[in-house]
Structure formats: C-alpha cells, structure tokens
A and B are shown apart, each in its own frame.
Chain A
Amino acid sequence: MTERGRLNMWRTLTVLLALTLVMSFSLAAADEKQSGALNVALASEPGTLDMALSTGVAASIPARHVFEGLFAFDKNYKPQPMLLSSWELSEDGKVATFHLRENVTFHNGEEMSAEDVVASLNRWGEHGLTKGALWSRVEGIEQVDDYTVKMTLTEPFAPLTTYLANVYGGPRIVPAEIAEEAGGEPIAPEHYVGTGPYKFVEWKAGDYISLERFNDYSNPPTAPSGFAGRKLAYFENIKFSMVSEAGARVSGVKAGNYDYATKVPTDMIATIEGSAGTEPVITDHPPIYPIMLINTQTGVLADAEMRRAVQAALDMDSIMAAGYGNPRFWKLDGAYFAEGIRWRSLAGADAYDQADPEKAKEIAEAAGYDGEPIDMIVAIDMTAQYNQSLVVRNQLRQAGFNAQLETFDKATFFQRRNDRANAEWELAFSFYSTTPDPSLVLMLNEDYPGWWDTEEIESLKAELNTTTDFEERYGVWEEIRELWYEQVPAIKFGDAYQLHVRGETLKGYGTEDQPVMVSPYFWNAWKES
C-alpha cells in the first residue's frame, strides 16, 4: 500500500469512527428522551375526535395525535404533504393528482391505500363541516392505483391544499370501511383508527381519553415544522384528563399530577410564575379573535348604515380588557389576521376602534333610528364573551341605542343564533381560531349566522377562490377587508391569547420549529426524569 493509500485508509477509518460515535450519541440521546406517561389536563371534554364533524380546539388536541390528513400546516401555516410523497396540479388547475406514501399503516395494522383516501374524502365531502367552498367545485374523485388519487375540479380552486390540511371540520384519513359505516354520524370511539403517532386506547366518559404510542408509525421524511414533518413519539402513552376547574388544573401541574394544562384564567399568571416547577405557556401563535356577529338580514341592523353606527360607538380597549383582563393576553388589532400571518392586512382599519358615541348617534339618527330594540345574545358559559357583551351593551346605550342583552347556555345560544328563519337577534358574541386562508373565514360564508350575502362580497369571494397567484389573491383579500369595514357583517374586537401551564420537566415543547399553538401537540417532546 502506498503512502497515499494508507492516508486515505486512515481518513476513511476516522470518518467511519466519527460517524459511529455521532450515531451512538444520537441513539443514546433518543433513548434518554424515551418517556413514560404524559398527563395533560384539558379544560373541557371534546364532543368527538372525529374532526370532520368537529371544529373544537379541545377535540383537536387528542385528535391530532391519532389522525392525519393528506396535508398538514407547517410553522408558518403553509400546507405541506403529510400522507403524500408528492402531488401535482394540472396546468389548467382543474386536476389534482395525489401520490400517497407507501407503507403507511393504520392503527389496525392495515396499510393505507388510495381506496381509504377516496372513501374518507367522499365522506368529508358529504358531511364535513368545512367542505363548503372546495366540495362545491369537486367534480369527481377517483382511485388511479393503490397509491394514487385523482381529484377533478370544475374550476381552479386556489386554497385546495389548505382545505385538505385544515383539521377543524377538515378531512382526516381513516380506513374505507370505517368512513363508509360512519356516514353522517360521528365515528364511534371504538372505531378511532388513524395513521398518527399515537393510537386511541380508551375514552372514559367525562374522565379521560388515553392514547398509546403507535410503534409502526410511518414518519414523513421531512424535518419537523409546526404540525408537519417528522413526529417522534417519545411518550409511551398520553392521558388527556378532563379537569373543568381551572384551580385544579394549576394545582395538578404544581403537584406533578399533570405535565400540561390548557386554558388557565389569565389572572393566575402570577401564581404560575411564582411557583417552582411550573411555567406559563402563552398561545400567541396565532391568537384567537373575539368577534361580534351582526344579523345583516332582519331587524334594525339589516341597514348597513346602522351597522356602521354600531361600529363607530365601540371602544375596543374597554371591551378587550373586560374579556381578557391582563394586557399581556390581548392586543388591539384592526386587521383580521394577526401579525406574522401572511394574509395580514390593515385595509379599511381606520374604522376600527373609533370609540365615538356622538358620531354613532348622528349616523343612527340619519338612518332613521327611533329607539327600536337591538337584541344581543351571548352564552353565559363563554365567560370572556359574556364580559365583553356587558361592556358593549353599555357603550351602545351611551350612544343612544336601545341595547338589550339575553344570556343562554351554549346549546340554546347556538340554536338561537343559527335559526335564520326566526332570527330574533341583532348581535351575537363569539370567538374564532385563525384560519390559514381567508376563504375559510366563516363570516364570508353566506350560510353562516350574520348571513352576509351582498353582491359585492359574492363577487369578491368568487375571485378569491379562483385566483391562484398569491399577490393577486392578497389584493382581493384587501378589497374584502375594505368592504367588510364598509358593510360591517361582523366586528372583530382584537387579538386574544390563552394561558396554558406546563411542568418544567416537559422538554422539547415550544421550540423554534414547533412553536406553541392554541392546540398543543406533544410529538417530538419528552419528559426529563
């Protein structure tokens, strides 16, 4: 062997040794992260984990660990392939071809195939809560081969992948026989079979939902980012307990009974920061949006001039403070989308937070207002919304409106609010999670309470959905925002953040690649022993 050959051999050996060492350290580190049980205290019990029929954040928390969609949102809320190896859109934008990853196994041991995807999407298309704008453009969906699905649209639909990635009321992939059997009813818990890193074990009514690590989980090849990318399940099992009392959730984390607790009253931040072993988690990525819906169809506010009068009267600072207390947990914001979201636009926002009761009075008088009652409805168990409604009522009364407030429990509130034929309300209080695309903003849906269906908005919506270029779509969205402030179908009060609490032994949670979100997720996180 020559001198050069010996040198090369030593170089090769050194590299191999280094690689072996790195791999050993990585494996050792991975082993160290292997954790037993993760205990999470949820503020409320989900109705179902079948996300096609649920838009609840509480449901999405366990459901994200069990079910997956064709796409998932990354940390910037851009859809990324999850159960797909690739996908392509035809030149005319009307045919989408999805190539499934091979060897993706369901929790029942069967391999996911195109048949399952077609059945799941068809079920969602028929019954899913957010099928709307997409499904009305779907001409057909077919299985090309075991790993290829083709979707044909009647016209291009720009937010296609956003709809497929959306978890709230969105499509999750389940075995074909389960999708077909469930139909329009929620999938029964014993049939919760997904492809996620954790499999469903048990739902003890009103007590807990338990999941267990799915050892045959097939990871996507991409790096972790938000809800997308690699998902390493370090916990052997996860138990989501229903703990309705906020004090009990905080005490439970302090005592080490829980590792994480959701939705803690913001005035408890000092207690959490002052306690050893607990850390506050502020879910500002993104915030939630407290909003007042306005009945645009019947009653005194059917007149857009009157809605503008209401808009002029409101002082958002007092309203947000009443709802969310500590200013660390809210912010005034005239844009619909919060900072950091690419759709953010301040178009039309001059009309936000006018706090001018005199101006409101003048506009109302000019519109011929004569003291007719303005009925406000709110669910008393939505505390922040109830507190905000009290302040809004006072502000409207100061501006000369005859504002009346009626309170209900949630079930009654939703029924009254949704009843278009007998709508007996003018203002309804609620809050919304952010959506990854403007087309999913509920107030734009003409069937959604408020029922905003003017010619101008219908035309802009059609343009928003069919335009594919982002810059052009952004321009349309700016026009919509200006129209929104002009026609006032709903009034956003500001941005609000939730407070969660975690034990300090929970590691790998809330990283740069996987930031804290309203709906917490625990893959790639572990517990320090």
Chain B
Amino acid sequence: MLSYIIRRAGGMIVSIFIVISVTFILMHSVPGNPASVLLGPNATPEQVQNLNESWGLNRPILTQYYKYVVNIFQGKFGRSIYYQKPVLSIISQRAETSIFLGLMSLLVVVSVGVSGGIIASIKPNSWVDNLLLLVALAGASVPSFWLGLMLMNLFAGQLHLLPSSGFTSVLKTGNIVNLKNLILPSIALGFVNAALVARSARSSMLDVLNREYVNTARAKGLKELRVIVKHAFRNAAIPITTIISFTFAKMVSAAVVTENVFALPGIGSLVVQGILKRDYPVIQGVMLVVAILYVVINFLTDLTYGYLDPRIRYG
C-alpha cells in the first residue's frame, strides 16, 4: 500500500507540473496584457508599456517561467496584479464559497441523482422509471443559468423566502445561517449534475441487478431492500463513485455560470476574471490549486474502490 501511495504521489507531482507549465505558456502566448486592461481604453500605448515594465512583464518569457517555477517550489504563489494581494489569500477567501457550494450541491446530487437512479432501476420501463428519465433528461437539458434565474426570481424576487445572491463567510462570522445564500445556487448546480448521475446510477444498477449473485440473494429469501442496498448497490457503486467524485471536483472548481448568476465569490469565476484581466499570478495559482484538487480526488476515489470491492488490491 505504501509503495502504491509513493508511486501515485510521484505521478501526481508530474501531472501538476505539466498543468502549471501548460497554463503558463498558454496564458503568456495569448495577446493582451494586464496593463492594457487595467488602464482601459483611454491609455496611450506608452503608458501601457511603462506599467507592464514596472510589473516585470517585459522580461523574456523563459526568465519569467524560471522565476515562477522557482517561486512555486519555495511555496511562493506571487501577488495578484489586479488586487495587489497574495494569490494564496485570494484563493483561500474564494475557496470557502466554492467548497460549501460544492458540498451542498453534492447533497442535491446524491439525494436526487443516486436515489432517483436506484428507484428507476428497480422497476425498469415502469411509469416511475419513465418519469425519472424524463426529469433527468430535463435536468441535463436545462441550462443552469436559466434554472438559477428562475429560482431566484421565484424564491427571492416574488416570495422573498431566500436571498437572491451574494455570500458572507461562515467561517469568518461564525454564522451558519449564511449558508441559506447557497440554497438556491446549490439546487441550480446540483440538479443539472444530478441528472447525469441519475442516468449513470440507473444503468449501473440495471447491469448489476441482472447478475446471478443478485438472483441468488433473492433466492435465499433476503428482503428486496437488503438485496438492493447490500448486494446490488455496493457492486454498482464503483462507477457511481467515480462520476460523483469528478462531479464534485467540477462543482467546486468550475461552477462559473452558477457563481456569476448568484454573484458568489468562488474559484470558477476567479479564474475566468483572471483570464479576462490577464492577471497571470491568479490564473496560475488557481490552476495549481485545481490541479491538486483533481489529482487528490482521483487518488481518494481509487482508494475508495478497495473499500467498495475488497478484491481490488494495491501493490
């Protein structure tokens, strides 16, 4: 097990290094620069050049890359050109929103997606199955921004039950009630993703429910609920876990549309804003964190397989 973890860790570091290098090269290759965005349309080219020079952006790209890599190995993520704050502090401020949004959306995904998929698979082609498939199809087809705006208009604009947008830190204020700001966004984000998980859960369960060992369990006289939960679901769980884990990573790191609609200060919108403003340190910092998030979740998912299916061994 230990040697497996060490091998995987090595692979993870290489993957992360590739991601940050590609990000660096791509971002510095596209036209545009932070000074021209900051100074706006009225700046003269000379003023733009002067500011870029003072930020060190006129140095050769290889020099900049070398400095960036050295800094990363020293734990220095740099300062945002725009916000003039350490990148790590900006990311950590944003991470709270994204993690809470991801977790609450995951709740929607699991409760709606997984349970919907299991229920649909128990009686395939019944009206329940058809109804759930229809809902899943609608969920996969509805744009999350439209769903978000509809929810916002109804629950915030008309009924005044929930706040329309924004999020105030729970950790900073100690006020857990602030999470109510994330209810509508997590429904909008979770529902769309739940649809995909439901379809995947249904097909995995259908595959397993037709296996001989399930028939054997039924023949033994076990109750149907026990057969489904203990025998069928556990074996169908591996593909479902894989999809859920990557859905979670996606909901944490790339919920740009939902974050924009609900004005949530999350990781996804930070990187998009960073790209539009050519705030290189922010883009590189976020991409590094997101790369770490993905490889860690991937690694943990692999470890979960062993728990779900003891036949899987790591060596």
B303 at the interface (CB under 8 A from A): no
Residue of B nearest to A252 (CB): B164
Closest CB in chain B relative to A254 CB, distance in Å: 4
- Assembly CA distance A54 to B36 (angstroms): 11
B42 at the interface (CB under 8 A from A): yes
Q: Is the CB of B36 within 8 A of A53?
A: no
Q: Is the CB of B270 within 8 A of A447?
A: no
> Which residues of chain A are within 8 angstroms of B163 by Cβ–Cβ distance?
255, 257
B30 at the interface (CB under 8 A from A): yes
> Which residues of chain A are within 8 angstroms of B38 by Cβ–Cβ distance?
47-48, 53-54, 186
Q: Is the CB of A129 within 8 A of B42?
A: yes
> Which residues of chain B are within 8 angstroms of A248 by Cβ–Cβ distance?
149, 152, 164-165, 260-263
Contact of A418 among B48, B50, B94 (CB under 8 A): B48
- Assembly CA distance A445 to B31 (angstroms): 25
> Which residues of chain B are within 8 angstroms of A168 by Cβ–Cβ distance?
42
Q: Is the CB of B278 within 8 A of A205?
A: no
Residue of A nearest to B55 (CB): A185
Contact of B36 among A381, A418, A442 (CB under 8 A): A418
Contact with B along A445-458 (1 / 0, CB 8 A): 10110000000000
- Assembly CA distance A251 to B263 (angstroms): 12
> Which residues of chain B are within 8 angstroms of A298 by Cβ–Cβ distance?
none
Closest CB in chain A relative to B69 CB, distance in Å: 25
> Which residues of chain B are within 8 angstroms of A224 by Cβ–Cβ distance?
none
A464 at the interface (CB under 8 A from B): no
Binds A, one of B7-15, B77-85, B106-114, B288-296: B77-85
A371 at the interface (CB under 8 A from B): no
Q: Is the CB of A241 within 8 A of B166?
A: yes
- Assembly CA distance A447 to B47 (angstroms): 11
A137 at the interface (CB under 8 A from B): no
**Given A245-B145, A255-B157, A257-B163, A430–B32 Cβ distance below 8 Å?**
no
Residue of B nearest to A189 (CB): B84
Mark out the residues of chain B between 266 and 307 whose CB falls within 8 Å of any chain A CB in the assembled complex.
Answer: 269-270, 273, 276-278
Q: Is the CB of B47 within 8 A of A245?
A: no
Closest CB in chain B relative to A357 CB, distance in Å: 30
Q: Is the CB of A45 within 8 A of B42?
A: no
- Assembly CA distance A74 to B38 (angstroms): 28
B265 at the interface (CB under 8 A from A): yes
A414 at the interface (CB under 8 A from B): yes
Contact of B273 among A41, A53, A188, A206 (CB under 8 A): A206
A130 at the interface (CB under 8 A from B): yes
- Assembly CA distance A275 to B260 (angstroms): 23
B3 at the interface (CB under 8 A from A): no
Binds B, one of A90-98, A336-344, A405-413: A405-413
By CB atoms of chain B within 10 A, which of A241, A408, A409 has the most?
A: A409
B44 at the interface (CB under 8 A from A): yes
B33 at the interface (CB under 8 A from A): yes
- Assembly CA distance A129 to B44 (angstroms): 8
- Assembly CA distance A417 to B153 (angstroms): 40
Residue of A nearest to B84 (CB): A188
Closest CB in chain B relative to A228 CB, distance in Å: 23
By CB atoms of chain A within 10 A, which of B84, B85, B163, B265 has the most?
A: B84
A203 at the interface (CB under 8 A from B): yes
Q: Is the CB of B276 within 8 A of A381?
A: yes
**Given A41-B263, A409-B276, A169–B42 Cβ distance below 8 Å?**
yes
A127 at the interface (CB under 8 A from B): yes
By CB atoms of chain B within 10 A, which of A183, A205, A252 has the most?
A: A205
B75 at the interface (CB under 8 A from A): no
By CB atoms of chain B within 10 A, which of A251, A415, A445 has the most?
A: A251
Contact of A411 among B33, B44, B164 (CB under 8 A): B33
> Which residues of chain B are within 8 angstroms of A244 by Cβ–Cβ distance?
260, 263, 269
Closest CB in chain A relative to B41 CB, distance in Å: 6
Q: Is the CB of A257 within 8 A of B165?
A: yes
Mark out the residues of chain B between 142 and 201 whose CB falls within 8 Å of any chain A CB in the assembled complex.
Answer: 145, 149, 152-153, 156-157, 160, 163-166
Contact of A55 among B34, B42, B94 (CB under 8 A): B42
Closest CB in chain B relative to A17 CB, distance in Å: 47
A56 at the interface (CB under 8 A from B): yes
> Which residues of chain B are within 8 angstroms of A414 by Cβ–Cβ distance?
32, 36-37, 40-41
- Assembly CA distance A252 to B31 (angstroms): 36
Dominant secondary structure at the A interface: loop
Q: Is the CB of A412 within 8 A of B32?
A: yes
Contact of B41 among A55, A130, A412 (CB under 8 A): A55
- Assembly CA distance A417 to B43 (angstroms): 11
B54 at the interface (CB under 8 A from A): yes
Contact of A251 among B41, B42, B90, B164 (CB under 8 A): B164
- Assembly CA distance A188 to B85 (angstroms): 9
- Assembly CA distance A208 to B168 (angstroms): 10
Q: Is the CB of A251 within 8 A of B36?
A: no
A204 at the interface (CB under 8 A from B): yes
Residue of B nearest to A445 (CB): B44
By CB atoms of chain A within 10 A, which of B33, B83, B166, B278 has the most?
A: B166
A184 at the interface (CB under 8 A from B): yes
Closest CB in chain B relative to A192 CB, distance in Å: 11
Q: Is the CB of B32 within 8 A of A447?
A: no
Q: Is the CB of B156 within 8 A of A127?
A: no
> Which residues of chain B are within 8 angstroms of A185 by Cβ–Cβ distance?
51, 54-55
Q: Is the CB of B152 within 8 A of A247?
A: yes
- Assembly CA distance A151 to B166 (angstroms): 47
Contact with B along A247-268 (1 / 0, CB 8 A): 1100110111100000000000
Mark out the residues of chain A between 24 and 67 whose CB falls within 8 Å of any chain B CB in the assembled complex.
Answer: 41, 45, 47-48, 53-56
> Which residues of chain B are within 8 angstroms of A75 by Cβ–Cβ distance?
none
Q: Is the CB of B44 within 8 A of A447?
A: yes
> Which residues of chain B are within 8 angstroms of A419 by Cβ–Cβ distance?
45
B241 at the interface (CB under 8 A from A): no
- Assembly CA distance A412 to B90 (angstroms): 25
A518 at the interface (CB under 8 A from B): no
Closest CB in chain A relative to B1 CB, distance in Å: 41
> Which residues of chain A are within 8 angstroms of B94 by Cβ–Cβ distance?
205-206
User: 4 shortest A-B CB distances, which residue pairs?
Assistant: A411-B32, A207-B265, A243-B263, A255-B156
| Interface residues in chain A, defined as those with a beta carbon under 8 Å from any beta carbon in chain B | 41, 45, 47-48, 53-56, 127, 129-130, 168-169, 183-186, 188-189, 203-208, 241-245, 247-248, 251-252, 254-257, 275, 381, 408-412, 414-420, 430, 442, 445, 447-448
What are 20 pairs between A and B in contact, CB < 8 Å?
A: A47-B37, A48-B82, A54-B39, A55-B40, A169-B42, A189-B84, A206-B270, A242-B263, A244-B263, A248-B152, A251-B156, A254-B157, A255-B160, A257-B164, A408-B32, A410-B32, A410-B37, A411-B36, A442-B42, A448-B44
Please give 19 more A-B residue pairs, beta carbons under 8 A apart, in addition to A252-B165, A254-B164, A257-B163. Answer: A47-B82, A55-B40, A56-B40, A184-B51, A203-B83, A205-B82, A205-B265, A241-B165, A245-B149, A248-B261, A251-B156, A251-B164, A252-B156, A252-B166, A252-B263, A254-B157, A255-B164, A414-B36, A415-B31
